[in-house]
Structure 1
Amino acid sequence: MNEDGTGEGGGRATERLLGLIREHHDSIRAQLGEEGYAVLLSRLEALAAVAADDERGRRSALQGVRRALRPLSFDHPVRAALDSSRLVAAPPVPADVDVARELLAWLSAPADEPEPPAGTRPGHLLLDALTLSAQEARDRCGGPPPPELIRVPGSPEGARYPRFQFTAGSGAPYGVVLEVNRLLLADIDPWGAGSWWLSDNSWLGGAPASLLGRLSDDRLVGAATQLVEGE
């Protein structure tokens, strides 16, 4: 137990993990590849966006970060820390949100290479997507939108809903979108779920959102299941 009462089983374990991500950033990105790295960034953004007093949200967001790191090789220092029994059992504390924000600020710092075009950085895809207002989404759903739908919080008009989730004909949500979003825990991690839908997927041959109505529902669900179970 440390003097501040957190101990390794409290906030220190998560702080250590986030510190290792920063220390071994280059090798993490190389091993995860661009798709896996995009997922990791979106999960870190989800953790950074959690309210400090939302314990359930912190736990879920941290679990998302851990899952995103699972594809690392077993001899990687971050994977070794990830498999530590003390780390697995460690509940996140409010300070972890601040550490995640500091890590994201460091990752977002200007580098020697040019900044990627707008809309291509993970986590910003949802902000660039066409959306519906809460009232428009309510109208299309015939009542309160189901919690499985991805919501983009924080705009002056309130939460907004990415348009790709709704059919062009009836305007109702795609059934497969609700099914996949349940797998991706979109109600807890909208940034991670949105990144999956809007990023290119080499297994599917394009961004899943662009393939709605063109690819079978089973293929989309299978790809999401592979991601979740593979992590």
Structure 2
Amino acid sequence: MSIYSAIRVLGERWPDVVRRLTADQRLRLRELLADAQAGPSLRLAMFLNDVLPEEHPVRAALLQDDTTLGAGVLMSPEQRSAWIDEILRGLDDDRNERLEHVDVEARSRIRRTLTTVPRDRVLDLGIDPKAPYVIDLDGDYPEFQFASGAVAETVRRVNILLTADLDPWGAADWWISRNAWIGETPLELLRTGRDDDVVALAAAVGEEG
């Protein structure tokens, strides 16, 4: 088994791979790649094997000889680290590209509309501010996410459907934008107990994307 050959192909096939992953899986991949910088990682190999289809090139690469990079070229620790760094940058670049879709005017409207709390407050609640289901607006966190002192299951599900970890401003904008079908914002629906409707609307956004 060659985890390093798989890492090489993972870097080359990154746009295809990231489209196949959920928010939780992207977060897990980041953790496993960081671990792999120290040496071979069976957990990373198992993860890639689980989340990718059998015919995917990354899975095929797992079957290559573990001492080679491509056609018989030895992979040094420096090469391994460079490949992993490139993939981690790909995670960040994908997030930054999506952030650009929400302009300055929209961000200003979001800040005026939503009450936020600082990172320290989120930590005090025992919540991981980096969790993929938490909207992070450059260090400010919309308070409605923690109305019950924790992230409610509906908010968690919706934020994952909206890929809030990659597009937090877009997710926040969705919560406060009036829906043409129902004449209310998803946040208003949430506050009146219409959780199923909120999830359905978010799922529809995922299908359109």
State the TM-score, normalizing by the size of structure 1: 0.45
Structure (1 or 2) with the larger CA radius of gyration: 2
